[in-house]
């Protein structure tokens, strides 16, 4: 257990050791138990957490905000339009001032090419911890909740478990790469054999793939890519099936949207779940495109752990804030 996490930024879990991550997971379970028992745990009494959202959110915002209330502090919801950011105030000036008022800041900025850079710039100047609430590259707080959920569903050693990160067909908008990228890097570190499945145009960032390969090598596990959803699902213990964009193939949004339409068969359905191991789980960070990328039967069926997974956002965020702020 690490007791020296005060002030530590959380931009990507790759910058956190296994011991540090395990400390967060351990506290998250403790806080989950305390909440279930109705034991007050005002670990951040009178503290303030700023939540700066460049994009919309259901889970991230509300898990942080409710979590801060339960920890005895307060969370402010901010947007560029509700601050002077839309008028051009810099990341440095914004965070220098907010750090005089409060104790931590979370940022969601998924703009490709600048989202992560924006929060790195804030972290460079911040005297308070900066938490990445999702950017164009990573989504560490979701990944924390996901590994917490997997450890709850598969207690004990995770080695030999097959984790599948599969692309799905979900039209209408181009989803960020942050979720699959965070997961292939993290799950290899936790000793699982990771299979990444997607149509050829939906590649992840080269640096992320390289890092996942390094993580897998160091952990002595497999990290493989397939372009066939059925093949990926065979004998899986954990299926994480969600859509992401073809940004690594084309910078053109219209072309990226058209590419999605080439693969309407990439749906997580009961037949495919039948290819997985008995007792396997289906995961999705949500929002899921119900009836499109995944059938109702799977979302509401026995493999699904969606709502437990979403609940774990709350416990993981609380632990992360309590340890860093």
The footprint of ligand CP (CB under 6 A) covers 57-60, 134, 142, 285-286
Considering beta carbons, is residue 57 or 211 the nearer one to ligand CP? 57
Considering beta carbons, is residue 134 or 304 the nearer one to ligand CP? 134
Could you tell me the smallest distance in angstroms from the CB atom of residue 269 to ligand CP?
22
Considering beta carbons, is residue 94 or 182 the nearer one to ligand CP? 182
How far lies 103's CA from each of 2, 90, 116, 241, 295, in Å?
20, 19, 21, 36, 42
Tokens of 221: 């596990």
Between CA 118 and CA 126 the distance in angstroms is 12
Angle between helical axes of 306-324 and 140-153 (0-180°, round to 10): 120
- Residues with Cβ within 8 Å of 29's Cβ and at least 6 positions away in sequence, in order, are 148, 315
Could you tell me the smallest distance in angstroms from the CB atom of residue 316 to ligand CP?
12
Could you tell me the smallest distance in angstroms from the CB atom of residue 32 to ligand CP?
18
Could you tell me the smallest distance in angstroms from the CB atom of residue 112 to ligand CP?
16
Considering beta carbons, is residue 256 or 310 the nearer one to ligand CP? 310
* Phi, then psi, of 196 in degrees rounded to 5: -105, 125
**63: DSSP letter:** H
Considering beta carbons, is residue 75 or 219 the nearer one to ligand CP? 75
Could you tell me the smallest distance in angstroms from the CB atom of residue 62 to ligand CP?
8
- Torsion, Cα 324 136 67 95, to 10 degrees, reads 60
DSSP H or E stretch at residue 30: helix 18-37
Longest Cα separation, the chain: 55
Could you tell me the smallest distance in angstroms from the CB atom of residue 141 to ligand CP?
8
Could you tell me the smallest distance in angstroms from the CB atom of residue 142 to ligand CP?
5
Burial 240-251 (b: 16+ CB within 10 A, else e): bbbbbbbbbeee
User: Quick check: 294 and 250 in contact, CB under 8 A?
Assistant: no
User: Quick check: 27 and 5 in contact, CB under 8 A?
Assistant: no
Considering beta carbons, is residue 216 or 321 the nearer one to ligand CP? 321
Considering beta carbons, is residue 58 or 69 the nearer one to ligand CP? 58
């Amino acid at each position: 257990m690490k007791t020296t996490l005060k002030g530590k930024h959380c931009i990507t879990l790759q910058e956190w050791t296994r011991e540090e991550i395990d400390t967060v997971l351990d506290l998250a379970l403790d806080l989950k138990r305390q909440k279930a028992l109705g034991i007050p745990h005002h670990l951040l009494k009178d503290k303030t957490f700023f939540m700066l959202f460049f994009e919309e959110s259901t889970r991230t915002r509300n898990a942080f905000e409710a979590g801060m209330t339960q920890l005895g502090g307060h969370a402010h919801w901010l947007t560029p339009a509700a601050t002077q950011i839309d008028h051009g105030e810099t990341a440095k000036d914004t965070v220098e001032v907010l750090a005089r008022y409060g104790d931590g800041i979370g940022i969601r900025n998924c703009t490709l090419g600048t989202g992560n850079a924006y929060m790195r710039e804030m972290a460079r100047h911040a005297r308070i911890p900066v938490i990445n609430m999702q950017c164009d590259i990573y989504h560490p707080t979701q990944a924390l909740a996901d590994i917490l959920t997997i450890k709850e569903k598969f207690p004990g050693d995770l080695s030999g478990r097959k984790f599948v990160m599969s692309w799905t067909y979900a039209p209408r908008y181009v989803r960020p790469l942050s979720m699959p990228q965070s997961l292939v890097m993290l799950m290899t570190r936790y000793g699982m054999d990771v299979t990444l499945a997607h149509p050829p145009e939906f590649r992840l960032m080269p640096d992320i793939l390289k890092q996942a390969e390094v993580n897998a090598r160091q952990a002595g596990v497999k990290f493989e890519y397939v372009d066939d959803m059925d093949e990926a699902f065979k004998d899986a213990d954990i299926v994480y099936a969600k859509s992401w964009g073809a940004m690594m193939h084309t910078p053109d949004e219209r072309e990226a949207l058209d590419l999605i339409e080439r693969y309407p068969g990439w749906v997580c359905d009961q037949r495919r779940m039948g290819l997985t191991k008995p007792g396997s789980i289906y995961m999705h960070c949500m929002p899921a495109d119900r009836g499109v990328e995944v059938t109702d039967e799977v979302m509401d069926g026995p493999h699904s752990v969606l709502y437990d997974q979403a609940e774990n956002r709350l416990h993981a965020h609380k632990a992360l804030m309590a340890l860093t702020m």
